[in-house]
Amino acid sequence: MPPATIHFLGTVPLFRSLQQTEVVAFSQLVRERSYPKGSVILFEDDPGDSLFVVRVGRVKVVLVSEDGREVILEILSVGDHFGELSLIDDQPRSAHVVAMEDSTLLVLRREDFRRRVEQNPAVAWALLVELSGRLRRADDKIGSLVLLDVPGRIARLILDTATEGGSESIEKPLTHQTIANVIGASRETVSRAIGEFVDAGWIATDHRRIRITDRAALDKRAQKRI
């Protein structure tokens, strides 16, 4: 396996606490797959037989209602992973995963992962830590959906997304429709709130890119309860 893959896996949260020899062992087990923008990587109820790590691009984890309405559960970018629950419970996939742009993923089969766990319990502990973090983030999201109004949810999403990227800007395009699908609102309501944030001087927008210009004010808006 190329050294670049070994280095990349060492930066992925699930693997970065492991010893270098263990990372090398995993690099020999993963397989690389490419998906064009808009393609479905996984369907809900597909067999859960692999873990996926995003190496290039972005993907969205979505639920689709009977009337075709899409709810985005999560947007994942480079270094993020999905499918880890299936490594434990052997259950089918709980949501669709779709490529938001041309993406490259590393795929690790469940059998290979379990073999490494049996040989090194530290791998299991790393997975538990990641699952704990994901549950905490899910709790925070549920709290935002329940306790915040729509502008508050948007403010929280902007702050969280910028923080994950390590800057005051969201460089990856985040359309109003995507934001609406994440927070459970209409695109029109999102567009109106974004316009109000711009007018207030809290953010600046340029070709779908968002830059935070007044973090304190935006954070205060994200704390406002219904």
For the sheet containing 209-212, what is the strand order?
169-170, 209-212, 203-206
Would the CA dihedral through 78, 79, 82, 87 be positive or negative? positive
Q: Which two tokens stand for residue 2?
A: 């190329």
| Chunked mean pLDDT (size 10), the chain, 226 residues | 85 87 92 96 89 95 84 91 81 90 94 86 82 79 81 92 78 85 92 95 88 94 78
Give the per-residue pLDDT at 1.
57
Give the per-residue pLDDT at 165.
66
Q: Return the C-alpha torsion angle 89, 95, 96, 98, nearest 10.
A: -90
Residue 190 near residue 158 (C-beta atoms within 8 A): no
Break the chain into its structural domains and give their ranges: 3-134, 143-222
| Residue range 3-134, CATH number | 2.60.120.10
| Residue range 143-222, CATH number | 1.10.10.10
State pTM to two decimals.
0.79
Q: Which of 95, 98, 99, 97 is nearest to 44 (CA)?
A: 95
Give the per-residue pLDDT at 103.
97
Question: What residue type is assigned to position 179 of the chain?
Answer: I
